[in-house]
Amino acid sequence: MKRTIAVIAGGDSSEIVISRQTADHIFNTLDRDLYDPYLLEMIGLEWNVKINEQSYPIDKNDFSFTKDGKKIKFDFAYIAIHGTPGENGVLQGYLQLLQIPHSTCGVLSSSLSFNKHACNSYLQNLGFKIAKSVLLKKNEEYSIDDIHTKLDMPCFVKPNADGSSFGISKVKKVADLEEAIQKAFNEGNEVIIEEFIDGLEFTCGLVKTKKESLLFPVTEVLPKKEFFDFEAKYDPNMAEEITPARISEDLTKQIQNLSSNIYDALKCKGIVRVDYMIRGEEIIVLEANTVPGMTANSFIPKQVAAMNRDLKDILSLVIENEF
């Protein structure tokens, strides 16, 4: 019998537009011989299954919906929400209470990885190399001079809990810091200011299941803009992405092994992507993404294709791992 799958899009952040694209790609890729998928959109407390332009409200008591008088319950939730509540542990907690298997990390891993500063501090304590940073909280006083004392210009200013490069700025002059900080605060209650790392950017996806563990090829990221912002990330004309990366086999293995160690350190589950900067001989961890983009232009589908694997089969690995 086919498993009934909820592919969940939406969310309560600026990333909703990408979430819908990710969900559509997952929905269209899932193996129809094994699964009966439904697109489900969550915006605030409005949770609806979308079928042929019709909306069917979710019963939040048991995460089901009714169509033509028949109650349909989900066997599995494939989370495609970037940002809150799908990437920060909130949705995971709800699903775990109802004992509904899902595609991502659990509550602790999701909430930790979503908070850039907390995650980086944790990883740094475990010996991983992390960019220097300063954390600001809304409604708490801060000093531009103190920030400049800790971090040289240029630097990056971005929301502390966000995934698709909304609200990010590259600041070259101290005089421009305040405006960038306020822009980032528009996206959340905490802002992280990170040192600028003069180097090359790379990213590596992976998945570990009971049946198979896969370290994906490394991608080299070459933005055509000054840095890899939202436009560069999702407009194929704004960045060159080379998979596999033009680096040595040894360096590739170092990045893949680091990704594997970070996956284990954060107690991850499902498909994860870890981003890096390489400066000289240093491999510096930028962040771990526990709900990475899965649009047609995203890194993960391209890395899967580069290793001559079918994304449909990788998604099935993630789902079947829970049964």
pLDDT digits (tens, 9 = 90+) for 68-78: 999 999 999 99
Rounded to an integer, the average pLDDT of 232-247 is 76
Distance CA 131, CA 122 (A): 13
Distance CA 108, CA 158 (A): 23
Q: pTM for the full model?
A: 0.90
Kindly list the domain boundaries of the chain, sorted by start residue. Answer: 3-103, 111-129+198-320, 133-195
Instruction: Please give the CATH superfamily to which domain 133-195 belongs.
Output: ATP-grasp fold, A domain (3.30.1490.20)
pLDDT at 164: 45
pLDDT digits (tens, 9 = 90+) for 147-161: 888 888 899 998 887
Identical fold between 111-129+198-320 and 133-195: no
pLDDT digits (tens, 9 = 90+) for 159-211: 887 544 578 888 998 888 889 899 988 887 889 999 999 999 999 999 999 99
Q: Which two tokens stand for residue 274?
A: 């870890």
Q: Sorting pLDDT into bands at 50, 70 and 90, what band is 15?
A: confident
Which option is the CATH number for 111-129+198-320: 3.40.190.10, 3.40.50.300, 3.30.420.40, 3.30.470.20? 3.30.470.20
Q: What is the 3-state secondary structure (H, E, C) of the chain?
A: CCEEEEEEEECCCCCHHHHHHHHHHHHHHCCCCCEEEEEEEEECCEEEEEECCEEEECECCCCEEEECCEEEECCEEEECCCCCCCCCCHHHHHHHHCCCCECCCCHHHHHHHHCHHHHHHHHHHCCCCECCEEEEECCCCCCHHHHHHHCCCCEEEEECCCCCCCCCEEECCHHHHHHHHHHHHCCCCEEEEEECCCCEEEEEEEEECCCCEEEEEEEEEEECCCCCCHHHHHCCCCEEEECCCCCCHHHHHHHHHHHHHHHHHCCCCEEEEEEEEEECCEEEEEEEECCCCCCCCCHHHHHHHHCCCCHHHHHHHHHHCCC
CATH class, range 3-103: alpha beta
Distance CA 137, CA 60 (A): 33
